Amino acid sequence: MEQLLQQKGYSVYTPANPGHEGVPRELRMKIHPDLTKTGFKDVVNNLAKFIDKLPEKPLIIGHSMAGMAVLKLVELGKAAAAVNIDGAPPKNVFPPFQTPK
């Protein structure tokens, strides 16, 4: 999908969430120590800092917890629009679904 979008002239970025930097196969063999310390706010703040460096507000796509994060980023005015794919609430967030402000 990334190559298809780039061929159509779009810039595509895939920033890693904190604790997810690296090769997935290697990460599964040795869990990054920061992963257990990383929460929803950390993910949102990490993405917000990345977005702040872009020349314009992006369209953002997220899956699972990142799906919920992209909704929060739209709420914060960081993105033009978002696609939430099978969004799952972060740990300790129960119905009614609310995100930390």
* Per-residue pLDDT tens digits for 14-69: 898 887 788 888 888 887 777 777 888 888 999 999 999 999 999 999 988 888 89
Domain count, the chain: 1
Range of the domain at 40: 12-85
pTM strictly above 0.95: no
Please check whether residue 43 lies inside any domain of the structure.
Answer: yes
Please check whether residue 1 lies inside any domain of the structure.
Answer: no
Closest CA to 59 of 40, 86, 75, 78: 78
- By DSSP bridging, strand 81-85 and strand 59-63 are parallel
| 65-75 and 40-52 helices, crossing angle to 10° | 50
pLDDT of amino acid 98: 54
